[in-house]
Amino acid sequence: MREKNKPSKYSHQRDSEATKKRILEAAKQEFASHGLSGARVDVIAEKAEANKRMIYHYFGNKEELFTVVLEDAYIDIRSEEKELHLEKLDPETALKTLVEFTWNYYLKNPTFLRIINSENLHQARHLKESSVIDDLRGPFVGMIDDILKRGEKENVFRKNVDTIQLIITIASVGYYYFTNRYTGSILFSKDFMSQEALDERLAFNIETILRLVKK
């Protein structure tokens, strides 16, 4: 029986959507910091200022929570990519814009890279079961294909550059730099994250991609 004058345990208003959001954000951070295995459900609950019971209530279990975090990550980058409207830019500018966007997205969203890495460590078993990817299958493939075709027609790009290989390469040159920056900084005795180093790398990446496609 409730005691008289005892203050309520529930100090804040209820808001299931807000609670879900806080859990997802906390989970994203925790999974990114420690990987799927290293992440602790208790810590996620604490960071989210929620309760472990709520995590299981809203998301089922740790694996399903990870799946939602992963899906959200892909949805987010995909929606930002859409906003670039590369189809409105001339081929060379479009390609340069994509390289810069990819680079800056990785720079501003370190959790993205770490979560994708975790998923690959686990052989993409969560993504495999996800239906969300259907909408992002071949993200941008059509768009990049169009840029390459326009470049060919305008005689600024060479013929027969493989679209998927190009997309992979654009991702590679940024992704690797960021995910391997810790070992890289030691192996090369160089701070990979200084503004100077970042600027230099982005410029080099743009050059790499343009040299690859230009006549």
Partner DNA sequence: AAGCAATATAACTATATAGTTACATATTAC
Partner DNA sequence: GTAATATGTAACTATATAGTTATATTGCTT
Q: Which residues are at the interface with a copy of itself (CB under 8 A)?
A: 34-38, 114, 116-124, 127-128, 133, 136-139, 141, 162, 164-165, 168-169, 171-173, 175-177, 179-190, 200-201, 204, 207-208, 211-212
Contact residues toward DNA (CB under 7 A) are 1-2, 6, 8-10, 13-16, 18-19, 39-42, 50-54, 56-57, 61-63
SS3 for 151-169 is HHHCCCECCCCCHHHHHHH
Q: Which does 62 bind (CB under 5 to 8 A by kind): a copy of itself, DNA, none?
A: DNA
What stretch of H or E contains 190?
none
93 binds, among DNA, a copy of itself, none (CB under 5 to 8 A by kind): none
Per partner kind, with CB cut-offs from 5 to 8 A, the member of a copy of itself, DNA, none near residue 50 is DNA
Among the listed residues 136, 156, 177, 138, the one whose alpha carbon sits nearest the alpha carbon of residue 94? 156
**Containing H/E element for 188?**
none
* Contact of residue 41 among DNA, a copy of itself, none (CB under 5-8 Å per partner type): DNA
CB of 113 to DNA, least distance (A): 22
- Residue 63: name the closest of 137, 129, 134, 16 by CA: 129
Of residues 76 and 200, the one with the C-beta less far from a copy of itself: 200
Query: Which residue's entry shows tokens 């027969």?
Result: 160
Query: Does residue 41 contact residue 6 with C-beta atoms inside 8 Å?
Result: no
**Amino acid code (one letter) for 146:** D
Q: 10 vs 211, which CB is nearer to DNA?
A: 10
